[in-house]
Each structure stands twice: as C-alpha cells, then as structure tokens.
C-alpha cells in the first residue's frame, strides 16, 4: 500500500514543525478530511463550560501539532510536548497551571500518546475549575476500527495492555486502544481511581469521509465532486457507526464539589 503514502511527508521527521505544518495544510485543503476535523472541533467546543465561560476563561489544547482548533476559538492556549510547534511546551503529566485555573482541556488524537494517563487525569482534575471539561477525540474500538488500525496504521493498537506504556520520545510510542481500555474495559477502575471526574458522554464520529480522504498520512484519491455525496452517505449510515466508526468523542467533567 506504499503507493498511497503522502509524498509530501517523504524525508520529514515525524513530530517536527515541518511535519505538523504539512498536516495542517492537508487538513485545510482536503474537503472530506476538513469536514471530519470541523465536526470534531465543533463537537469539542459544544459545551457549556466553553459557551458560558467568562471572558477571561482559559482553555488548553494538549498536543496541538497541526491542529486548527484555535481558529474556532482564539481563547484556546495551544501546546505541544516538543518546542517550536505551539504557544507552550507542555507535558500532559505535569500541567504548568495553578489549581482551578482552566475551564476546558482539549485533546485530538493525543490521549493514546500519554504514557501515564492516570497522572494526566489527576493533573487535569487539579487544574480544572469545578464543572470544567475534558474533551477528547480518540481512536475508537469498533470491529472495523480494530481491523483498520491493526493493519493500516503504524502505531500499535493493543487492547490487552494496561494503562501505561514505555516511551522513547517518539510519536510512535502509543497505544491507540487506550481510550477504550480506560473508559470501556476498565470503566470501574476509572470511576474508582478518578472519582472527581465524571464520564459524561461517548459519541461515535463520522468515519467514511475520513477513511476515503487518506487522513493525514496517505494520498487523497477522492474526487472533489463526490465529497458531498460521501458526507451524505455517512450520515445515512449513522446506524452502522457502532460497527465502523474509526473515532469517538469522549467528555469528562470535573465534579462541582471537587
């Protein structure tokens, strides 16, 4: 399947500023892919913790990379674990913010890169105001997603593992099954260990436009003229999302009493 590889990424170091700049351009110029990201961004921001926040409220995006989320709300503070990519250099396990100082934390394809998500969840609970939200777009674990990410994606998808994994400072250090592990398989453990965070919503997201767009690492072979039909078909097939969705949205909320 090497013929589907996006040639603009040849020779570009994964995780470099150049890598994320190209990804940003791909998202902006591929109609089907842009549709998916626009849906993701609107979903992340559609929350009272954002809509009803005071003018001086602060929102943090972790692992911004090539994200366009700040275009949807300029109050967002962008961050990444590597320098030269975003406004701040931030490790999700050690958030450099005072207690109860953020109204929302957003992650797009980031949670499964955090090698110790328990530390992140404790830190997120600390820095969020009561009622603050964590919104994340993550890899789903539907039957088709398991097949797709096991066979057509370089990062591991290991649903049998624990919450932690070894990290050698590479974007390939991850477990794409992590959100399913924490919020589905080990939901009781999550509730027990992070009782100050409520799992408020899990929602499937559009998959057919993303699959056919090539994502951010493969060629876009989709004729522009049929993109609206692909998007409409995806909506018609919403009933199949539990079988085919590649991504899902997860919302956690800090309890008002914490």
The per-residue pLDDT for 222 is 85
136 bridge partner residues: 107, 250
* 42-56, 135-149, 160-174, 225-239: range with lowest mean pLDDT: 160-174
How far is 162 from 186, CA to CA, in rounded Å? Answer: 9
Does residue 233 carry a pLDDT above 60? Answer: yes
How is residue 119 written in tokens? 């530390």
CATH number of the domain enclosing 35: 3.40.50.150
* 54-63, 145-154, 163-172, 196-205: range with lowest mean pLDDT: 163-172
pLDDT in tens, 96-113: 999 999 999 999 999 999
CB half-sphere exposure, 96, CA atoms < 13 A: 8
The per-residue pLDDT for 258 is 58
How much of the chain, in percent, has pLDDT values that exceed 90? 80
How is residue 209 written in tokens? 């436009």
- The predicted model gives 220-235 an average pLDDT of 94
Are 181 and 142 in contact by the 8 Å Cβ rule? The answer is no
The per-residue pLDDT for 197 is 98
What residues make up the domain containing 47? 2-254
| Alpha carbon distances (Å) from 22 to 16, 25, 87, 136, 203 | 10, 5, 18, 22, 29
* pLDDT grade for 216, boundaries at 50, 70 and 90: confident
Quote the number of domains for the chain: 1
* pLDDT grade for 167, boundaries at 50, 70 and 90: confident
Does residue 170 carry a pLDDT above 80? Answer: no
What is the DSSP annotation of 41-103?
HHHHH-SHHHHT--TT--EEEES-TT--HHHH-TTEEEEESSTTSSSEE-BTTB--S-TT-EE
Q: Which letter, b or e, does each residue of 132-153 get, where b requires 16 or more Cβ atoms within 10 Å of its Cβ?
A: bbbbbbbbbbbebbbebbeeee
How is residue 125 written in tokens? 């609970």
Does residue 220 carry a pLDDT above 90? Answer: no
């Amino acid at each position: 399947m090497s013929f589907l590889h996006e040639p603009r990424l040849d020779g570009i170091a994964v995780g470099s500023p150049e890598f994320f700049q190209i990804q940003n351009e791909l998202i902006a110029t591929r109609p089907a892919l842009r549709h998916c990201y626009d849906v993701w961004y609107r979903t992340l921001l559609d929350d009272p913790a954002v809509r009803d926040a005071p003018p001086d409220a602060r929102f943090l995006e972790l692992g911004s990379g090539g994200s366009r989320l700040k275009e949807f709300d300029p109050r967002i503070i962008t961050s990444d674990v590597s320098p030269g990519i975003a406004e701040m250099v931030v490790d999700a396990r050690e958030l450099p913010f005072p207690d109860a100082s953020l109204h929302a934390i957003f992650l797009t394809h980031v949670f499964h890169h955090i090698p110790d998500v328990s530390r992140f969840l404790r830190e997120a609970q600390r820095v969020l105001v009561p009622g603050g939200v964590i919104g994340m777009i993550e890899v789903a674990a539907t039957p088709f997603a398991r097949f797709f990410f096991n066979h057509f994606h370089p990062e591991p998808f290991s649903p049998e593992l624990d919450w932690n994994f070894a990290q050698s400072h590479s974007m390939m250090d991850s477990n794409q099954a992590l959100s399913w592990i924490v919020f589905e398989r080990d939901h009781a453990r999550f509730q027990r260990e992070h009782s100050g965070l409520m799992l408020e919503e899990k929602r499937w997201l559009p998959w057919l436009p993303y699959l056919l767009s090539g994502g951010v690492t493969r060629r876009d072979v989709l004729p522009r003229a049929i993109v609206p039909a692909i998007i409409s078909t995806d909506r018609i097939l919403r009933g199949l999302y539990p079988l085919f969705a590649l991504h899902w949205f997860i919302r956690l909320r800090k309890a008002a009493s914490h």
